[in-house]
């Protein structure tokens, strides 16, 4: 099983520590691509039009300024650098060494800067989205696709891929393996509706449940069975829809 997560928009900048060492990150064959993106990001972030290129508002000026020194900034485990709804729900910052070790084998965060990292990989905080067109590199999803495909397909090894990413990050890697996307709906007065904010929260709970329970579903049905273990706590129902084309769809239903 391979669980794919999006990065969080919010990140906690480490206060101290050594800078990132590309040679120690998961998927070392991505080092050159990571270096190209990081160098370009640092250059672009120092330009007058940086905010426009990175498509961020004035409130994020400090984040963009931090990009300029991305190679020198302190790094920490991505489980602590990535914050936001999904990561808070997963409680990832508090995962112990044994849980992080399992996650290093089974979880990847697909990133506009790093390509893909495990929760145990040490990275600095940064500001960059996969939908960005970054200098001569062009659109980052297109840039990363040929690099990520062999790496993540090899990691998946033909096993089940549980996909909790948003569309921009799906564009960077589409698994060549049994593949299930995760949808979240709210049930209120017998009616179900798609939710957005709580979707991130619930996907975070699912990721944590799969890693902490040491689950290893081999099929979409196995995944639905594993997710059903959350019913009565975080969920009221689980449904699985097989698709003729593309990934199957797991729906997690929360109470209204």
Q: What percent of the chain stands above pLDDT 70?
A: 100
pLDDT at 89: 96
pLDDT at 196: 79
pLDDT at 178: 95
* Phi, psi dihedrals of residue 70, rounded to the nearest 5°: -55, -35
> Does the pLDDT of residue 11 top 90, yes or no?
yes
Is residue 10 very low, low, confident or very high in pLDDT (cuts 50, 70, 90)? confident
What Rg do the C-alpha atoms of the chain give, in angstroms? 18
Closest CA to 174 of 195, 144, 200: 144
Taking residues 169-176, what's their average pLDDT? 96
> Does the pLDDT of residue 188 top 80, yes or no?
yes
Closest CA to 38 of 73, 76, 87: 73
* Phi, psi dihedrals of residue 2, rounded to the nearest 5°: -125, 125
Instruction: Write out pLDDT tens, residues 73-125.
Output: 999 999 999 998 999 999 999 999 999 999 999 999 999 999 999 999 999 99
pLDDT at 256: 82
> Does the pLDDT of residue 197 top 80, yes or no?
no
> Does the pLDDT of residue 245 top 90, yes or no?
no
User: CB under 8 Å to 150, separation ≥6 — which residues?
Assistant: none
Residue owning tokens 């097989």: 242
Closest CA to 2 of 35, 34, 36, 27: 27
Please give the helix or strand (H or E) that residue 134 lies within, else none.
strand 133-134
> Does the pLDDT of residue 232 top 90, yes or no?
yes
Q: DSSP letters along 172-231, please?
A: T---SS-EEEEEEEEEETTEEEE-SHHHHHHHHHHHHHHHHTT----SHHHHHHHHGGGB
Supply the mean pLDDT for the chain.
96
Sort residue 239 into left (φ over 0), alpha (ψ -120 to 50) or beta: beta
């Amino acid at each position: 099983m391979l669980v794919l997560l999006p990065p969080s928009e919010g990140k906690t900048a480490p206060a101290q520590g050594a800078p990132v060492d590309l040679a120690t990150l998961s998927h070392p064959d991505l080092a050159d691509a990571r270096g190209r993106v990081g160098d370009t990001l640092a250059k672009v972030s120092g330009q007058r039009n940086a905010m426009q290129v990175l498509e961020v508002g004035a409130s994020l000026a400090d984040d963009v300024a931090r990009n300029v020194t991305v190679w020198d900034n302190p790094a920490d485990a991505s489980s602590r650098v990535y914050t936001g709804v999904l990561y808070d729900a997963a409680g990832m910052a508090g995962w112990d060494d044994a849980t992080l070790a399992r996650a290093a084998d089974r979880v990847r965060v697909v990133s506009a800067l790093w390509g893909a990292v495990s929760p145990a990989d040490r990275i600095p905080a940064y500001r960059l989205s996969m939908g960005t067109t970054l200098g001569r590199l062009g659109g980052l999803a297109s840039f990363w696709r040929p690099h990520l495909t062999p790496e993540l397909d090899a990691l998946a090894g033909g096993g089940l891929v549980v996909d909790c990413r948003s569309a921009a990050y799906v564009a960077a890697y589409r698994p060549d393996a049994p593949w299930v996307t995760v949808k979240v709906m709210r049930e209120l007065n017998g009616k179900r509706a798609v939710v957005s904010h709580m979707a991130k929260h619930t996907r975070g709970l699912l990721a944590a449940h799969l890693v902490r329970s040491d689950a290893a579903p081999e099929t979409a049905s196995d995944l639905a069975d594993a997710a059903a273990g959350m019913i009565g706590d975080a969920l009221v129902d689980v449904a699985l829809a097989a698709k003729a084309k593309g990934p199957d769809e797991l729906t997690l239903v929360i109470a209204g």
